[in-house]
């Protein structure tokens, strides 16, 4: 099909189709750009540390649970842990309740709750944000073994 | 090639060709789906973190892929109809909408069932989940507009326009997990990159995706053929066929 | 096979309700997608015949 050979009315219709898609596309793109910050489901540790997240309001904050930072209470369901972006920002989360099955150290987590003015986060709900890697348990054992041997 | 395209666009030729191919496609779709389900439920190893819950992936991911693909095909049919006014494209668009609605519904429901034990919630208003819900509304909107305008000559053009306006939702669904912070994980399956899981986990997923595609084509053809009979009932070949 | 017994298969490591309901709903959606067009075709053939008969008179 050559564009130049196309009948005029068909070419006009094709141009109309392209026009509709481009116009609606740019309209939606502008709306999304304007809303950009609000579409994010959660605040990153960097934003929490920089004070970009509102204090005292119900918000979501997320990041990675730092290895070895989980402290569980002996008497009740209270737990606290550090959420980091694996770079230089991290903050403490306090939570009372049952954590999801996939809550693990070193895995992603999204907490809904209130940021206190001392910079610590009091969560009323904790969700596990797992990554897109899947593997059978045996394979994971092999990888961990390789890691620990490499560390020796 | 151009001639061939126009010939296939004639309802009579399309009805004949699709009729002879359909049985093979149906058998193949059935084999793929049964093999995929048996493989996914019984032979895929459990995930090191999620355990057996990972088996939900084998219905969730194919239905989500097909939900988007069926919208894409519907939009392609819409362009063909708007520019070339091929009636068959209008029929194809109309017949894809109910199937796409079912697949999007399935993707959302299985996603919720998978989300509860893994994330800890059925639903969250993140960009990926919300844009997929918008896809469901688009499919329902196309069907509603179609039935509201039924009988009017402009029904085909109006629905095709609605489909085209909604097509921008597809890149939003696809890239939502990269553009914004979402609870939904990035896709683990794409044509260009190495899958982030071992072969014994992605191979059954591939079988299921192919099975879903074949199934979609089978039921799409079934619906298109019925709609051809509906619209062409005055033509001689249909009269000879039904009598 | 990843399961030792039928009950382990049904149990799915404690997540049986989730896994089986997901596959059950998928079966319903697929079943509907097969049955609906076949029934529609039967009724459409009948309707087309009626229309032709009416117009032939």
Please tell me the predicted confidence (pLDDT) of residue B207: 96
Query: Does residue B9 sit within a domain?
Result: no
Tens-of-pLDDT digits for all 243 residues of chain B? Answer: 677 777 777 899 999 999 999 999 999 999 999 999 999 999 999 988 888 999 999 999 999 999 999 999 999 999 999 998 999 999 999 999 999 999 999 999 999 999 999 898 999 998 999 999 999 999 999 999 999 998 788 999 999 999 999 999 999 999 888 888 888 888 776 666 667 788 889 999 999 999 999 999 999 999 999 999 999 999 999 999 987
Query: Does residue B210 sit within a domain?
Result: yes
Structure tokens at C40: 């529609």
Q: How many CA atoms lie within 13 A of C52 on its CB side?
A: 21
Q: Are the beta carbons of B73 and B118 closer than 8 angstroms?
A: no
Residue of A nearest to B2 (CA): A1
C:3-42 residues touching chain B, CB 8 A cutoff: 3, 9, 12-15, 18-19, 21-23, 25-26, 29-30, 32-34, 36-38, 40-41
CA of B183 vs chain A CAs: smallest distance (Å)? 6
Using 50, 70 and 90 to split pLDDT, how confident is the model at A58?
very high
Contact assignment for A1 to B2 by CB distance below 8 Å = yes
Contact assignment for A138 to B185 by CB distance below 8 Å = no
Contact assignment for A32 to B196 by CB distance below 8 Å = no
Q: Does the interface predicted TM-score (ipTM) exceed 0.95?
A: no
Q: Which residues from chain B sit within 8 angstroms of residue C30, using beta carbons? A: 33, 215
- pLDDT, tens digit, for every residue of B24-62? 999 999 999 999 999 999 999 998 888 899 999 999 999
**Which of A11, A99, A134, A144 to probe the B interface (max B CBs under 10 A)?**
A134
How many CB atoms sit inside 10 A of residue A2's CB?
5
End-to-end CA distance of chain B: 35
| CATH number assigned to the domain comprising residue B57 | 1.20.120
Query: Does residue B85 sit within a domain?
Result: yes
Given a cut of 60, whether residue A1 has pLDDT beyond it is no
| Pairwise pLDDT comparison (A101 vs A58), residue with the higher score | A58
* CA angle, residues B208, B95, B98, in degrees to nearest 5: 65
Q: Of B99, B106, B242, which is closest to C26 when you measure between CB atoms?
A: B106
Give the C-alpha separation, A13 to A45, whole Å.
Answer: 50
Is the CB of residue A138 less than 8 Å away from at least one CB of chain B?
A: yes
- pLDDT, tens digit, for every residue of A70-102? 999 888 889 999 999 888 889 999 999 888 888
Residues 6+ apart with CB under 8 A from A58: A112, A113, A114
- pLDDT, tens digit, for every residue of B230-242? 999 999 999 999 8
Give the C-alpha separation, B134 to B130, whole Å.
Answer: 6
Give the C-alpha separation, B66 to B99, whole Å.
Answer: 10
Query: Does residue B10 sit within a domain?
Result: no
**Structural domain for B27, as ranges:** 19-242
Give the C-alpha separation, A16 to B161, whole Å.
Answer: 10
Domain A45-129: state its class: mainly beta
**Which of B3, B6, B120, B138 to probe the A interface (max A CBs under 10 A)?**
B120
Residue of B nearest to C18 (CA): B113
Structure tokens at B241: 């066929």
Instruction: Please give the C-alpha separations between residue B39 and each of B54, B56, B187, B199, C42, in angstroms, as whole numbers.
Output: 13, 12, 21, 13, 35
Is the CB of residue C52 less than 8 Å away from at least one CB of chain B?
A: yes
CA of A131 vs chain B CAs: smallest distance (Å)? 5
Q: A121-129 and A90-96: which strand pairing?
A: parallel
Please tell me the predicted confidence (pLDDT) of residue A150: 67
Q: How many domains does chain B have?
A: 1
- pLDDT, tens digit, for every residue of B68-84? 999 999 999 999 999 98
Please state the domain extents for chain A.
1-39, 45-129
Please tell me the predicted confidence (pLDDT) of residue B1: 64
**Element holding B139 (H helix, E strand):** helix B127-148
To the nearest whole number, what is the mean pLDDT of chain B?
92
Query: Does residue B58 sit within a domain?
Result: yes
Give the C-alpha separation, B237 to A28, whole Å.
Answer: 46
Please tell me the predicted confidence (pLDDT) of residue A81: 94
Query: Does residue B137 sit within a domain?
Result: yes
**Which of B72, B83, B93, B131 to probe the A interface (max A CBs under 10 A)?**
B83
The strand ranges marked E within chain A are 58-65, 71-72, 78-84, 90-96, 108-115, 121-129
| Residue A72 backbone phi and psi in degrees, to 5 | -105, 145
CA of B190 vs chain A CAs: smallest distance (Å)? 12
């Amino acid at each position: 099909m050559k564009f130049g050979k196309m009948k005029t009315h068909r070419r006009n219709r094709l141009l109309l189709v392209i026009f509709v898609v481009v116009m609606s596309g740019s309209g939606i793109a502008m709306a999304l750009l304007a809303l950009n910050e609000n579409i994010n489901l959660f605040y990153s540790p960097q934003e929490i540390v920089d004070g970009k997240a509102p204090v005292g309001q119900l918000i979501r904050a997320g990041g990675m649970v730092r290895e070895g930072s989980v402290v569980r209470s002996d008497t009740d369901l209270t737990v606290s842990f550090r959420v980091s972006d694996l770079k230089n920002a991290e903050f403490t989360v306090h939570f009372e309740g049952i954590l999801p099955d996939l809550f693990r150290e070193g895995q992603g987590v999204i907490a809904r709750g209130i940021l206190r003015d001392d910079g610590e986060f009091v969560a009323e709900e904790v969700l596990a944000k797992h990554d897109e890697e899947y593997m059978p348990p045996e394979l994971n054992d092999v990888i961990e073994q390789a890691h620990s041997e490499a560390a020796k | 090639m151009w001639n061939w395209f126009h010939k296939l666009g004639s309802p009579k030729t399309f009805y004949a060709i699709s009729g002879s191919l359909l049985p093979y496609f149906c058998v193949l779709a059935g084999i793929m789906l049964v093999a995929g389900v048996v493989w996914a439920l019984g032979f895929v190893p459990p995930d090191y973190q999620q355990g057996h819950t990972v088996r939900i992936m084998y219905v969730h991911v194919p239905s989500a892929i097909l939900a988007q693909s069926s919208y894409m095909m519907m939009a392609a049919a819409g362009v063909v109809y708007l520019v070339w006014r091929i009636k068959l494209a209008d029929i194809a668009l109309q017949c894809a909408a109910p199937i796409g609605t079912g697949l999007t519904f399935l993707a959302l429901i299985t996603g919720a069932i998978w989300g509860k034990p893994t994330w800890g919630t059925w639903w969250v208003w993140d960009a990926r989940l919300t844009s997929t819900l918008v896809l469901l509304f688009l499919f329902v909107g196309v069907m509603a507009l179609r039935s509201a305008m039924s009988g009017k000559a402009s029904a085909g053009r109006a629905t095709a326009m609605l489909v085209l306006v909604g097509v921008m939702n597809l890149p939003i669904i696809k890239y939502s997990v990269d553009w914004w912070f979402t609870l939904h994980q990035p896709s683990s399956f794409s044509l260009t990159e190495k899958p982030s899981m071992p072969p014994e986990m992605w191979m059954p997923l591939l079988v299921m995706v192919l099975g879903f595609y074949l199934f979609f084509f089978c039921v799409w053809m079934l619906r298109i053929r019925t709609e051809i009979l509906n619209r062409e009932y005055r033509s001689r070949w249909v009269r000879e066929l039904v009598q | 096979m990843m399961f030792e017994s039928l009950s382990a298969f049904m149990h799915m490591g404690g997540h049986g309700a989730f896994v089986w309901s997901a596959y059950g709903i998928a079966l319903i959606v697929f079943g509907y997608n097969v049955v609906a067009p076949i029934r529609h075709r039967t009724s459409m053939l009948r309707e087309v015949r009626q229309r032709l008969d009416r117009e032939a008179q």
